[in-house]
């Protein structure tokens, strides 16, 4: 079977290569549309009692996941200049796109009885803006006499004051949330720097934005590190730029397919699915190593390129198939859990592990079949391997390249070009 498969790959190699790159182009298009997930409750099973209680609470009282709070601690809030800047910060926050409203002392209201209509009328305490310190002190006394705001917007014992910022929920579920949260942080930090006070910020929008940003940054970092380290290791052992480039092309295509699969399945990048691209790199590189090593070993024995290619497919095809199959099954079992985030990880990881096997198999066969000319000295010959073994076994080895005697490690290093 594997002989027929090798013959099929060699016979239709141009068509397979064209289909592979065409599929990669399509998957790259879908991969460009990948989005980050800003919800971090997917790891909880949907039949968990706590999850059901939380859903019942949201249905009755709504969700507070779109509220961000800004807190300061100072005894100068009701000084005229400080208060004006505090009002200006409140107005600036209201002008930020996606900010629907704010709840703070500058927009605090008081209920006043209307003698004409016999109804209570809501009026803003600090509107219009007080122009003198005496006027501000008078309004401060009225504000402090309202028990509703005590413990909500201020704490009289600690001189702590709070400002709540309500953000549009649809914006918070999109990538625009990062710009909105950063704009709010910038306004608050500028206010703190001007008055030399520590401005505290919190809330689910800010926490989720920080987590999402970390996921995106770590995804890029792990991907870059895995690429660089595997390339260096391959270059160290193979001493061949073409072998390194081929392996990097394989894993690069695998990464594109993995991200495209996430989009095609209707998923987003989460804490777990963000680990799939580096995982594909780590799994794809050994496939290339197995195929290349077997090909060069066989070619070194008899010098027949086609025979070496066929034996590579015969011997290593089944080995890498079952290696990848067991890994795919191991990750795929996560689909049978009750956690949504684990289900997504299991599906995408299992499918793409098998895809990286096919990609590495096709490209390895094409690369080996394309090497029409090989130089004997670039392939580890049996005599050279025996020579290296003799160098290692002796206390002081003689290197034919330099004509000098060296220790085993030194002689093995100097004669390394003959081995590769």
- pLDDT tens-digit series, residues 292-324: 888 878 878 877 777 777 778 778 888 888 889
Q: Which two tokens stand for residue 159?
A: 């001189």
- Residues 111, 115, 118: CA angle, nearest 5 degrees: 75
Residue 346 to residue 194: CA distance in whole angstroms: 51
pLDDT at 187: 94
Residue 61 to residue 75: CA distance in whole angstroms: 35
pLDDT tens digits, the chain, 420 residues: what are they? 666 776 777 777 778 888 888 999 999 999 988 887 766 656 677 777 887 887 788 787 776 678 899 999 998 889 999 999 999 999 999 999 889 899 999 988 888 877 777 788 888 888 888 889 999 999 888 888 888 888 888 887 878 999 999 998 888 877 788 889 999 999 999 999 999 999 999 888 888 888 778 877 888 888 888 888 888 888 887 777 877 888 888 889 999 999 999 999 988 888 788 888 888 988 888 888 888 888 878 878 877 777 777 778 778 888 888 889 999 999 999 888 888 888 889 999 999 999 999 898 888 777 766 654 444 444 343 343 344 444 444 444 444 444 444 444 444 444 444 434
Residue 216 burial (CB count, 10 A): 15
pLDDT at 237: 77
Residue 328 to residue 333: CA distance in whole angstroms: 9
Residue 275 burial (CB count, 10 A): 18
State the alpha helices, DSSP H only, in 239-339.
Answer: 241-264, 276-302, 305-332
Torsion angles phi and psi, residue 228, rounded to 5? -65, -45
pLDDT at 64: 63
- Asked whether the whole model's pTM tops 0.75, one would answer no
Residues shown for the chain: 420
Contacts of 359 (CB under 8 A, 6+ apart): 20, 250, 253, 254, 257, 284
Q: Which two tokens stand for residue 329?
A: 């099954």
Q: Give me the residues paired with residue 111 across strands.
A: 122
Peptide bond into 286 cis (omega under 30): no
pLDDT tens, position by position, 38-74: 666 566 777 778 878 877 887 877 766 788 999 999 9
Q: Which two tokens stand for residue 307?
A: 């025979």
Please name the residue that has the structure tokens 């027949």.
Answer: 304
Residue 166 to residue 103: CA distance in whole angstroms: 8
Per 3-state DSSP, the chain is made up of helix, strand and coil in percentages (nearest 5) of 65, 10, 25
Residue 8 to residue 364: CA distance in whole angstroms: 14
Q: What is the largest CA-CA distance in the chain?
A: 114
* CA 139, chain centre distance (Å): 51
């Amino acid at each position: 079977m594997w002989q027929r498969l090798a013959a099929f790959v060699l016979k239709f190699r141009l068509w397979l290569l064209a289909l592979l790159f065409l599929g990669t182009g399509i998957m790259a298009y879908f991969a460009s549309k990948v989005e980050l997930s800003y919800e971090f409750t997917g790891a909880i099973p949907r039949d968990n009692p706590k999850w059901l209680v939380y859903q019942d609470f949201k249905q009755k009282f709504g969700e507070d996941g779109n509220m961000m709070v800004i807190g300061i601690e100072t005894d100068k809030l009701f000084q005229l200049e400080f208060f004006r800047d505090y009002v200006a910060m409140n107005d600036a926050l209201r002008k930020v796109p996606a900010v629907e409203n704010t709840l703070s002392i500058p927009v605090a209201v008081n209920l006043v009885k209307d003698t004409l209509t016999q109804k209570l009328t809501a009026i803003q305490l600090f509107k219009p803006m007080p122009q003198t310190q005496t006027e501000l002190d008078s309004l401060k006394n009225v504000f402090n006499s309202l028990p509703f705001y005590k413990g909500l917007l201020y704490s009289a014992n600690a001189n702590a004051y709070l400002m709540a910022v309500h953000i549009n929920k649809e914006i918070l579920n999109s990538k625009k949330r990062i710009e909105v949260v950063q704009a709010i942080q910038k306004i608050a930090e500028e206010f703190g720097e001007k008055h030399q006070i520590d401005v505290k910020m919190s809330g689910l929008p800010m926490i989720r934005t920080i987590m999402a940003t970390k996921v995106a940054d770590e995804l890029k970092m792990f991907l870059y590190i895995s690429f660089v380290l595997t390339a260096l290791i391959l270059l160290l052992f193979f001493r061949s730029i073409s072998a390194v480039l081929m392996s990097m092309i394989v894993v690069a295509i695998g990464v594109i397919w993995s991200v495209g699969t996430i989009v095609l399945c209707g998923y987003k990048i989460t804490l777990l699915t963000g680990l799939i691209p580096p995982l594909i790199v780590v799994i794809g590189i050994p496939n290339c190593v197995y195929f290349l090593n077997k090909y060069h070993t066989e070619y070194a024995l008899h010098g027949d390129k086609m025979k070496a290619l066929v034996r590579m497919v015969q011997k290593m095809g089944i080995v890498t198939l079952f290696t990848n199959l067991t890994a795919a099954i191991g990750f795929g079992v996560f689909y049978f859990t009750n956690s949504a985030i684990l289900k997504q990880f299991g599906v995408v990881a299992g499918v793409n592990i098998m895809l990286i096997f096919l990609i590495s198999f096709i490209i390895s066969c094409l690369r080996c079949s394309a090497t029409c000319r090989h130089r004997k000295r670039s392939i580890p010959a049996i005599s050279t391997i025996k020579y290296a073994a003799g160098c290692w076994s002796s206390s002081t080895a003689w290197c034919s390249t330099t004509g000098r005697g060296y220790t085993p490690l030194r002689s093995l290093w100097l004669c390394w070009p003959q081995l590769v």
